[in-house]
Structure 1
Amino acid sequence: MKREYILFPIVGLLSLLFMYAAIAKAMDYGFFVSEMSKSPLLMKYDKQWLAPGVLGVEFLIVALLSFAATRKSGLLLSFFVMLLFTLYLSTLYFFYTNIPCSCGGILGKLSYPTHIIFNAVFTLLAAAGVLLYKTNNAR
């Protein structure tokens, strides 16, 4: 089976995930910032800088994944951001109580264990995309 047949859906799924997440947060930006402010891991950070930074990175990933010339960078950034989000959620879930979820849309409705598994699956998809991209373009 050609690697492109696996890589194309991975890029598509990651693009959809980051576009959906960014739009959902942007549409209810006040809630996003409010919930982010309640996070025990983010209390010392300036939300007026962090919140738009998160949105900017999510939209940047979508843009990078959209073009062949920047797709490798988009896959790498997707992997690191998903890994960071997964570690962040896992830390909140296992070490804190009364934990907020600043995720927008349907993702905010997931239980923490389900959300962690969801993120881990997308982290693995992004890692697979990076490996397939490198292998595919090494020829």
Structure 2
Amino acid sequence: MKSNYIQTAVVILLCILFIYAGIFKAMDYQLFLSDLSKSPLLVKYDKTLLAPMVLGTEFLIVVLLSFTLTRKAGLFLSFFVMLLFTLYLSTLYFLYTNIPCSCGGILGKMSYPTHIIFNAVFTVMSAAAILVGVKKPVILK
């Protein structure tokens, strides 16, 4: 029973995070595209395809998390995306200088170390929500 509350709390927080991030990126889409273009890790990718994919994935996660039947897929996708974002930011921070963050709103104003920790916490929360949702095996006596 307690695991349901934990998973629900994490799902709500993830939905808030992805809605917030997606809306801010969409509201200033040109800035989002511009910041993506400045990333040395993304030079090989077409930003006009990458940007909508990022936004679409963020909103897809919210939709998946919103329904019981798709919640597990939403949690796995949110874990994967948060892990990727955390690794991406860590790589930028440790290997490059003066690279703007393409996250919107207050997330984009965080320092890199703060943002990396923030993302890592949400990554761990996603993993925890997945793990508490896993049914324990029945042990036969």
TM band (smaller chain): over 0.9
2:80 equivalent in structure 1: 80
- 1:59-98 aligned within 5 A: 59-98=59-98
SS in 2 for 1:100: coil
Report the residue type matching 2:114 in the other structure: T
TM-score, normalisation: structure 2: 0.94
Deviation at 1:2, TM superposition (A): 1.7
The alpha carbon displacement at 1:98 in A equals 1.7
Deviation at 1:135, TM superposition (A): 2.9
Q: Secondary structure at the match of 1:88?
A: helix
- The residue that corresponds to 1:114 in the other structure is 114
Rounded Cα–Cα distance in structure 2 between residues aligned with 1:93 and 1:38: 14
Q: Deviations over 1:6-32 (max 9, x none)?
A: 111000000110010000100000000
Q: Secondary structure of 1:103's match?
A: coil
> Could you tell me the percent identity over the aligned residues?
70
- Deviation digits for residues 106-139 of structure 1 (CA, Å, limit 9, x no counterpart): 1001000000000000000000011111237x78
The unaligned stretches of length 5 or more in structure 1 are: none
Letter paired with 2:132: L
Determine the C-alpha separation between the residues in 2 that align with 1:93 and 1:44. Answer: 19
- Aligned equivalents of 1:2 and 1:118: distance in 2? 24
1:19 counterpart letter in structure 2: I
Q: Taking structure 1 as the reference length, what is the TM-score of the superposition?
A: 0.96
Query: Cα RMSD (Å) of the superposition?
Result: 1.3
4+ runs deviating over 6 angstroms: none
1:91 maps to amino acid? T
Higher CA-based Rg: 2
- Displacement of 1:44 in angstroms is 1.3
The answer to whether 1:37 aligns with 2:30 is no
- Give, in whole Å, the separation in 2 of the partners of 1:82 and 1:41: 17
CA separation in 1, counterparts of 2:17 and 2:135? 24
